[in-house]
Amino acid sequence: MGQKAWAGDSPYNMLDRYLKTMGLTMLVGALLDLVIAVSAFALAPQVTAWLGLAPPNVTYYMLPLVHLVFPPFCILAWMDTKRNVAIVTGAILARVIYALFAFALVLFAGASWIWTIAGGISLLLAISHYIFLRLSDFGFWEVFSQAGNPPAMKK
């Protein structure tokens, strides 16, 4: 079966919709990371208890700071997805690494199972970014290796 077409739709309109949806996934990721970071700063004693960590110390505050790195870049990708598509590929890679690290903490370091929630959310966001990247007619490796530059552009 063919893809559903809207009345008066063209392939360019469809690609534009996918780009906008990919931008929205970036915005959702930015907002989620911002909520996690602010919560981790404001509710440090409760968050450390949930995660099975020692009371908050200097190293604990690296967790919210990591979550504050994503939003500025994700917002840039949301504002102009087509020009900032390299940020999307970087976000996919970073979110997969974060998820793998969270899962490894639970499996091998005996961390609290709550880490799997953060890792799972990160993995779901990475998958949604990737799906809309492909639907928008971009290839992950091509964009990542060329940093978003067109193939005809030489270094």
Q: What is the dihedral of CA 8, 11, 12, 14, to 10 degrees?
A: 80
Mean pLDDT for the chain overall: 86
| Domain boundaries along the sequence of the chain | 13-146
Cβ–Cβ < 8 Å for 67, 34: yes
Looking at residue 3, its pLDDT comes to 57
Q: Is the overall model pTM greater than 0.75, yes or no?
A: yes
Residues 6 or more apart whose CB falls under 8 angstroms from that of 87 comprise 26, 73, 74, 76, 77
- What's the CA gap between 104 and 118, in Å, rounded? 12
Average pLDDT over every residue of 112-132: 93
Looking at residue 47, its pLDDT comes to 86
With a cut of 50, say whether residue 90 has pLDDT above it: yes
What is the separation of C-alpha 88 from the centre of its chain, rounded to a whole number of angstroms? Answer: 8
Binning the chain into helix, strand and coil, the percentages to the nearest 5 are 70, 0, 30
Average pLDDT over every residue of 90-111: 93
What b/e sequence results for 6-27 when a residue is b if at least 16 CB atoms lie within 10 Å of its CB, and e otherwise?
eeeeeeeebeeebbebbbebbb
Looking at residue 72, its pLDDT comes to 94
